[in-house]
Amino acid sequence: MAWSEAEVAHRAASDAELIAWVDEQDRPLGGVLRAELRERRLIGRGSYILLFNGAGQLCVHRRTLSKALYPGYWDVAAGGMVLEGESYAESAARELAEELGIEGAPLVEHAHFFYDAPESRLWCMAYSAVSDAPLALQPEEVLEARFISIDEALAETRHLPYCPDSLAALQRYLAARA
């Protein structure tokens, strides 16, 4: 599969970002390149934002094929790695604006949890936001997006590939609401 020049440049810039590196208790250890964090299986921080419209539908989006993790997968959350020196909330606001073009929507914090999988080890913070503003998708990261019910999203996970880390954030959101 051939990537566009923009996708190649975006991936290189992404791999060169300094990511917040933390220990098993989420204590900061400094910054490390994203590519090195993955290669060495170090622990980083991630922010996850469940975006809802005013009707209560969840925004799901499909990741580009140039993503290092879960290329082409569907995702229930905007979000990404927390940069060195950035708070979880700052990361969440930045990622929501970058990926989906939503700015200024109040973020509600739901869960702080550890996600440990072969492909990533992260301390995570799950947020939700509500906005009816039009989406402006970041072409280097998001192929398409749509709003569906949470039940529809969960049903889709049985036959479409969905990002497991974001699903963990959604499960914690649902547990906190119960």
Taking only the tens place, the pLDDT of each residue in 26-38 is 999 999 998 899 8
Domain that residue 58 falls in: 5-177
Number of domains in the chain: 1
More confident residue, 3 or 107: 107
* pLDDT tens digits for range 86-95: 999 999 999 9
- Residue 10, pLDDT > 90, answer no
* pLDDT tens digits for range 44-85: 999 999 999 999 999 999 999 988 889 999 999 999 999 999
pLDDT band at 178 (very low <50, low <70, confident <90, very high): confident
CATH number where 156 lies:
3.90.79.10
Task: Give me the chain's average pLDDT, please.
Answer: 93
DSSP of the chain: -PPPHHHHHHHHHHHTSEEEEE-TT--EEEEEEHHHHHHHT-EEEEEEEEEE-TTSPEEEEEE-TT-SSSTT-EES-EEEEPBTT--HHHHHHHHHHHHH---SPPPEEEEEEEEEETTEEEEEEEEEEE--SPP---TTTEEEEEEE-HHHHHHHTTTS-B-HHHHHHHHHHHHHH-
Question: For 3-12, 97-106, 149-158, which range has the lowest pLDDT when averaged over its residues?
Answer: 3-12
Model-level pTM? Answer: 0.92
- Residue 15, pLDDT > 80, answer no
- Residue 117, pLDDT > 90, answer yes
pLDDT band at 41 (very low <50, low <70, confident <90, very high): very high
Percent of the chain with pLDDT over 90: 84
- Please give the average per-residue pLDDT across 90-110, as a whole number: 97
